[in-house]
């Protein structure tokens, strides 16, 4: 059986900066392959459009009226 190395990327995307976020992702993939021998690099599902998950958990629907 062959090993598979998976790296989860934790980056800070900019809202609406799809080209910039894509460039950050490409650099993260390069770094993951060089430093960790990654076969797969995983990003949060809304990374490319720049919507951090925290926005959803702090929205008024979840009880924070200042969001």
- 12-16 CB contacts, 8 Å cutoff, 24+ apart: 12/52, 13/46, 13/47, 13/48, 13/49, 13/50, 13/51, 13/52, 14/50, 15/49, 15/50, 15/51, 16/49, 16/50
Domain edges within the chain: 6-62
What's the pLDDT tens digit per position in 11-24? 888 888 899 999 99
What's the pLDDT tens digit per position in 23-65? 999 999 999 999 999 999 999 888 888 876 665 555 555 455 5
More confident residue, 32 or 10: 32
């Amino acid at each position: 059986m062959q090993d598979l190395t998976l790296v989860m990327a934790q980056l800070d995307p900019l809202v609406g900066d799809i080209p910039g976020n894509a460039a950050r992702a490409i650099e993260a993939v390069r770094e993951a392959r060089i430093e960790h021998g990654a076969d797969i690099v995983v990003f949060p599902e809304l990374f490319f459009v720049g919507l951090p998950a925290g926005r959803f958990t702090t929205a008024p629907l979840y009880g924070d009226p200042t969001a």
